[in-house]
Amino acid sequence: MNFLRLSFKWSEAHPARAAVIAGWYQQGCTILGAIISIPFILRLLGREDAGLWFSLQGLLTMLGLADFGFSSAISRQAAHSLHLVIGNSVREHNRDLVETQPGWAGVSELYAASRLLFWRVTAVAAISLVVVYHAVLPFTRLIAHPSLSTTLTYYTLGVSVLLSMQLRLPLSFLDGTGYMFLSRLILGSYGILWNVASVIALLWIPSLVSMSVAVLGCSVLQYAAMHLALSRLGGRQIDFSVTAPKPLLSRLWKVALPLGVVSSGFYLVGVVQVPLLGATLGAAVVAPYYIAARISQTLHAVVQQMTLTQMPLFTQQLAAGHVPAARNRMVRTLIGGTSLYFLTSVLLYFISPSIVRVWVGPGQYVTATVLLLITINFLVGGITVVPSHFVMAAGYNPFALSTLAQGALTILGIIALCPMIGVAGAPLACLLAGLCTGYWYNLFKARQLWLQIQPEPEAERH
């Protein structure tokens, strides 16, 4: 108990370092969970049902788009309000940061408004859940043989996603108020728990339904743990009885909507590749590409545990007027993030084929050409997305149109290229779409931010 108490105190005193360590724990759990579950899924379900399982997981992630960017906006706003110093010179430039009271009073107002918003977006997601299954999937090749089992699997996984949306409320406040390390510990534990539980369910009753029920049970546990964490920590300072100010509700919607467009673009660029590949070429081709995409996404998340954990602190430093410290944090993070992306790209292309061969057996991975395209897109996209996070952390969001265009071009490219060149069309479409839109634009806007946050001359400050 003393060790745990000391560890927690150290984490509170060093939030960025603790968040990075907890983030790596999260990714380690995710990797371990995938290592355990994917071989069992492929062997016990077969390639077609396994492809359907992976595709449904990616497809249902789309429900998260109903978040409309609220979680990102709220986390950033909580960090800003908590450390706000009225009258500092940086604050007046932050057009996307909402007027609140400084300190915990402002965070309490923000929580009251956010609670109402999240119930509304969850209702939108629930409606979308029904529409997608009954009005979209019948016109694709993803579900070759519709059945009661498929329906139950889809809706059980869908309820898990709805719970994860409600989970974003406490998650956003834990991240924004300096407890990111705790939220990452909970997310990491869930990452391994649902994978292990789904394998146990699969061994007990080999079906998609049993796996989806196991995932739902783990989602309930994660939901309870995250809300308990916020009530025990943030609850010591947040006044949960505060009523949401109507102007704050309206302002949050206006700020979050463009962030939601950015999130939608990222979904169309990344997660949609797997379900769209199944929809165009059939579920049987999905599994090898899913494994490659999962490895690249995991490596991307590992790097971002180091970079994204710096964003709330960057926002806090700007809110308090500590511009030189914010600039130093930006430089260190960009150098470290770029270096890690180069390293992980080498691992992805040269090492991952051997790992997959030992892990799930020969013939279960993508070809060298497809993997090369995935790696190039991973590297270019990674080193250009880190600067864009600083732009948004500073209170700006100029990326709505660029990411939406990138997502639309990715979808059109996959639909056009995959029938002609097969699986290679997916990463090639993603790479070409990024080069035409978001990749260069991210660097351009980051350079503008760098020029803007110059330290004030000494004479002007006095």
Residue 396 domain flag: yes
Per-residue confidence (pLDDT) for residue 340, from 0 to 100: 94
State which residues form the domain around 296.
9-454
Q: What is the pLDDT of residue 396?
A: 81
How much is the pLDDT for 202?
A: 93
Tell me, yes or no, whether 1 lies in a domain.
no
Residue 165, domain member (yes or no): yes
pLDDT of residue 450: 92
pLDDT at 456: 61
pLDDT reported for residue 462: 44
One digit per residue, the tens of pLDDT, for the chain of length 462 reads: 555 566 666 666 666 677 778 877 887 888 888 889 989 998 888 878 888 888 888 778 777 665 666 777 777 777 777 765 555 444 444 456 676 777 777 788 888 888 888 888 888 888 988 998 888 888 877 776 778 888 999 999 999 989 988 888 888 888 877 788 888 889 989 999 999 999 999 999 989 999 999 999 999 999 999 988 888 765 567 777 777 777 777 777 777 777 666 666 666 676 778 888 888 888 778 889 989 998 998 888 888 878 887 888 888 888 788 888 999 999 999 999 999 999 999 999 999 999 999 998 888 899 999 999 999 999 999 999 999 999 988 878 788 788 888 888 998 999 999 999 999 999 999 999 999 998 999 999 999 999 988 766 554 444
Structural domain includes residue 260 = yes
The answer to whether residue 240 is domain-embedded is yes
Domain membership of residue 30 (yes or no) is yes
pTM: 0.70
> What is residue 223's predicted lDDT score, i.e. its pLDDT?
93
Place of tokens 């009753």: 205
pLDDT at 145: 74
Q: What is the pLDDT of residues 216-234, one digit of tens each?
A: 999 999 999 998 888 876 5
> Is 459 within the bounds of a domain?
no
The total of structural domains in the chain comes to: 1
Tell me, yes or no, whether 3 lies in a domain: no
